[in-house]
Amino acid sequence: MTRPTNVDAAAIFERSQEILDDQPWLSQDQAKDAARRELGVLS
């Protein structure tokens, strides 16, 4: 597994927060996974 760069990590976190706003029933981890998929940062 490659570690994301700081930019990727920030983008993933930001997107995961947007996903949580839209879908509050998701867990933080689920939102981060969805953000990673959207941003193409697959481990």
Per-residue confidence (pLDDT) for residue 40, from 0 to 100: 85
The residue segments making up the domain with residue 15 are: 6-39
Q: Does 31 reside within a domain?
A: yes
Query: Is this model's pTM higher than 0.75 or not?
Result: no
1 falls within a domain: no
Residue 16 lies in a domain: yes
Our CA angle for 3, 43, 4, nearest 5°, is 25
Structural domains of the chain, count: 1
Task: State pLDDT tens for residues 1-43.
Answer: 566 566 688 999 999 999 999 999 999 999 999 999 998 876 5
Reading the block at residue 26, the tokens are: 């998701």
